[in-house]
Amino acid sequence: MQLACFDLDNTLLATDSDYQWGQFLIEAGARDREQHEAANQRFYADYQAGRLDIDAFLAFQLAPLAEHPRATLDAWHQRFMREKILPSIGRSARKLVQQHREAGHTLLIVTATNAFVTAPIAREFGIDNLIATLPEEVEGRYTGRYAGTPSFREGKVTRLEQWLAGQGASLDDVRESWFYSDSQNDLPLLERVTHPVAVDPDPILESIAHQRRWPVISLRH
């Protein structure tokens, strides 16, 4: 197996879908602007600084899903895709995915952002395999909690190993593997693949990539 894994936010996307979903909810009148925007920006700054409390963040991120019926959420997401996501998918990102597809590689998106937000984005890229944080559902409604291991930092390695185990394999069995990411938070998985690639990286990841002679690319230009 040859495995091409892609982070999503600020990697394949020229934005952060998590943050933009919060902004969309504010614009849709579903969240109080002052309170939600302040918390959204604080968590985003913590993420960029590599100090995000994932449990606190997920409690904040998943709460709106529990407050509305699925039909309403799905209708909002269709608008969200049109207004926030499609404009942030560049030709270079689509081309990179297509190159790995044409090479016969197995494609995965591996993201900390929850699966409700990211599953339609994965479909837009034509990628069937998505590893994302799973929002808990009971009788067709989200509970505001998460299920299993969040796919964040070391959790991305855990979840990828679980996915590979379902294919009867492990990372050690994969002949070649790529992981594309912008963030220092993804170092645990970048260090496990045979081809780590920094994409429009944050300053810490950029420094590490240069020290270790990892490729550094841009999908913005």
The per-residue pLDDT for range 176-200, each reduced to its tens digit, is: 999 999 999 999 999 999 999 999 9
Convert 70-120 into a string of H (helix), E (strand) and C (coil): HHHHHHHHHHHHHHHHHHHECHHHHHHHHHHHHCCCEEEEEEEEEHHHHHH
Supply the pLDDT for residue 44: 85
Supply the pLDDT for residue 41: 86
125-165 pLDDT tens trace: 999 999 999 999 999 899 999 999 999 999 999 999 999 99
- Whether 7 is catalytic is yes
- Whether 182 is catalytic is no
Among residues 7, 16, 182, 202, the one annotated as catalytic is 7
Chain length of the chain? 221
Supply the pLDDT for residue 221: 73
Supply the pLDDT for residue 145: 97
Overall number of domains in the chain? 1
Q: In angstroms, rounded to a whole number, what is the distance separating the alpha carbons of residues 201 and 56? A: 25
CATH assignment at residue 181: 3.40.50.1000
Supply the pLDDT for residue 127: 98
Among residues 9, 182, 200, 202, the one annotated as catalytic is 9
Q: Which residues contact 125 (CB under 8 A, 6 or more apart)?
A: 12, 89, 93, 94, 97, 109
Q: How confident is the model at residue 37 (pLDDT cuts 50, 70, 90)?
A: confident
5-18 pLDDT tens trace: 999 999 999 999 99
Q: CB neighbours (10 Å) of residue 53? A: 12
Domain that holds residue 154: 2-217
pLDDT at 40 exceeding the cut of 90: no
61-120 pLDDT tens trace: 999 999 999 999 999 999 999 999 999 999 999 999 999 999 999 999 999 999 999 999
